[in-house]
Amino acid sequence: MGAVFLGERMEQFSQQVAIKILHPDLFPKAADAKIAKEGQLLAALDHPGIVRMLDLGVSENGSRYIVMEYVDGVPLDIYCENQHLPLRRRIEILLEVMDAVEYAHRHLVVHADLKPENILVSLEGKPRLLDFGVATVLSDMGALEVRTAKIQPPDDVKDGGEFASHTALYGSPEQRSGERLSAASDVYSLGLISESVLAGVEPEILSPNVLQSNFPEPTPLPASRKLRLLDPEKFARIAATRATTSGGLEAAIHGDLEAIISKATRIDPTERFQSVQEMRDEFERHLLGYPIQTRPIGWLVRGYKMALRNRLAAIVGFVFILVVLFSVLGIVKKANEAARKRQIAQDRLHELVRLTDVLAGDLYHSLDGLEGAEPAQSALLNSAHQTMNQLASDDEQDAQLELELAGEYEKLARLELTRSRLGQRAIQQAADDLDKERALLDLLNHRDPNVVQLRARLPQMVQLLTAAKDQVNH
């Protein structure tokens, strides 16, 4: 477009600006009215992610100029590489860029020249978009055709070099074909920028007449495929600048990110995202771990994403499912005959009582003396009480199970009364345990030696309960 100078205000207050002196052949004659009208529209853009246009006019020698905010930053791709930013942080920066582009689109302004060089990232890590809408102004006045026809690259830049092709590298197919630009053009450019920043691969160069061709170019390779075709050393370097490995980068790009980039860079504008906000929402869903809408996924992937969003709950739920699954499998395996089902169920209940005895016994005492053991021990006792109460409520218990339950209630009462922090709640729980033990023993054969032994210990437990009450009351 021309040359850019760093300008400084010489009166009133200190201010630095960027002054862009445009090439004199860019504009046709009598374009001043168009420049003034578009300049007012662009100057009205007020967004923290957009470098504001401060002034636009013609100098004394007839050169047209644009005065913009000065940003001390580096291009987006260089910033991400120098900082070795992981993919998550890169996506967060892209979300800020898309937010700025969507803001401009809501104000009916299309950038039409999005590329990493036009997205400067400040020292604080905030992206700022340059030249917003300037390309649209030039296009509307026929200036782009003038530039292509009259402005030649410097002698030291060969054909196909950055001067001649870099902007076109990120331009949309309709931009290359000279058609009217729209928000879909910015969506396409953002897709290519995302692919470059995230995957580290350069966009493919399409022919200028790709939209009019009867033989459309083949579908561009997905980003993960492009990575696999790279030299292994280069692939490893790209992954290292993203704080991951080659395999980790390929796995991260393949799937959601690849699908989003692919839809944003469709040749047909109608097949792309309908807005930058729609594209931004997809990136945000991926970042938050929700299923994206761009590609269909199965219930396994949905479950996996939900588990990643709620890892603690997923672990607890997974353990619970495993316990339930193994219990059900154990019961089903033994239940080959209908006549044995009840016996098998009773066996499982006996095992549950013994398991609870271990949890409230050996595991309980293994926590003695450990810092923060009291809450864990309380949780073990509460779980044991709930299990015992549920089993005791079954009217179809056999005598052996009722005897085991009675003995377990005595153990729970003793543990409650010997807690390091004895309180009224523990005493009440112990009293309830002894009452339930006594009720179970009354239902059993009083001549059974095990029943006689438990009944003989009841007075001792009552004395222990009384002593605990006195201790708490005094």
Catalytic residue set: 113
Any alpha helices (H) in 44-86, and if so which ranges? Answer: 76-83
Cβ pair 51, 20 in contact under 8 A:
no
Distance CA 424, CA 422 (A): 7
Cβ pair 415, 387 in contact under 8 A:
no
Contacts of 109 (CB under 8 A, 6+ apart): 41, 42, 45, 132, 133, 136
Tell me the two tokens of residue 430: 């112990």
Among 305, 302, 268, residue whose Cα is nearest residue 288? 305
Does residue 426 come out as left (phi exceeding 0), alpha (psi in the -120 to 50 range) or beta?
Answer: alpha
Burial of 75 (0-12, 13-18, 19+ CB in 10 A): middle
Burial of 120 (0-12, 13-18, 19+ CB in 10 A): buried
Cβ pair 85, 34 in contact under 8 A:
no
Q: Can you list the positions of beta strands (E) in 46-124?
A: 53-58, 64-69, 73-75, 119-122
Phi first, then psi: give them for residue 272, nearest 5 degrees: -85, 180
Residue matched to tokens 């999005």: 114
Task: Compute how many other C-beta atoms are within 10 angstroms of the C-beta atom of residue 40.
Answer: 11
Task: Compute how many other C-beta atoms are within 10 angstroms of the C-beta atom of residue 6.
Answer: 9
Cα–Cα distances in Å, from 268 out to 194, 210, 258, 264, 283? 19, 10, 18, 10, 21
Cβ pair 203, 169 in contact under 8 A:
yes
Tell me the two tokens of residue 341: 């089902």
Q: Provide the edge-to-edge strand list for the sheet that holds 16-22.
A: 2-8, 16-22, 64-69, 53-58
